[in-house]
Structure 1
Amino acid sequence: MADGAVWRLHHAGREIARLTVTGGDFPWVHASAETLPGFEEFRSVFAEQERAIDDEDYERADACYERIRKSLTMTFPDGQPVAEFWLHIHGDGTAGWRWSDEPFDEDGQ
């Protein structure tokens, strides 16, 4: 994934974050996250997801993932929708995600 490419996060058709690629570690893409109006509603879910992962509470992390995927969509830099993604937006303004052209299996892999 090219550094500087901008992926976009949407809620109800409205862009709420821009994710500018800074690198990656396959299968993860890393980015800086610019939050926009509308993101604040989801900030606590991303924070809870991060805490759950830190606590190794994967059931809680999965519940956060489900809430994120139920409410948010992501687009590639060319504007096409991403079929499946597992996104983390951290409190320090960075983000990481993995994505697929096909839905993940039930284990989120």
Structure 2
Amino acid sequence: MANPNLPIGSIWRLHHNDQEIARLTVTGADMPWTYAEVETLPGFEEFRPLFREQERAVHEEDWGRADACYTRIRSALTMMFPGGGPVAEFMLHIHDDGTAGWRWHDEPFDVVDQ
């Protein structure tokens, strides 16, 4: 059965607090990744340096820094499904070329005490 959130052209939304700061229009999927074109909106520029830092960290295979970026992104931003409602878990990469890729899950990941 096809996932109703993945059709080409569906729009996922990125929010900071109650403000929509980006729209991600799906261009394809290669599970577990979804790909999109990004339309930035007012409020996004505050986060552009964080996404750039994340991309550099991944390119340099600095996984500790990449994880720190992921934590900062997840604590500041909310991703919304095309039909509304927040995505419980996501790992989002927004690139300087105006594209994005993300993995998501509709239920929160279990937190393990260490």
> Same fold by TM (over 0.5)?
yes
Q: In the TM superposition, what is the alpha-carbon distance from 1:102 to its structure 2 partner?
A: 1.6
Q: How many equivalent pairs are there?
A: 107
**Where in structure 1 are there 5+ consecutive unaligned residues?**
none
**Where in structure 2 are there 5+ consecutive unaligned residues?**
1-5
Alignment match, 1:66: 71
- TM-score, reference length from structure 1: 0.94
Q: In the TM superposition, what is the alpha-carbon distance from 1:104 to its structure 2 partner?
A: 3.0
Alignment match, 2:94: 89
Alignment match, 1:8: 13
Q: In the TM superposition, what is the alpha-carbon distance from 1:105 to its structure 2 partner?
A: 4.9
After superposition, the CA RMSD in angstroms is: 1.3
Matches of residues 30-41 of structure 1 in structure 2 within 5 Å?
30-41=35-46
- TM-score, reference length from structure 2: 0.90
Q: Which runs of structure 1 show a deviation greater than 6 angstroms over 4 or more consecutive aligned residues?
A: none
Which structure has the larger Rg over C-alpha atoms?
Answer: 2
Alignment match, 1:76: 81
> Percent identity between the aligned chains?
70
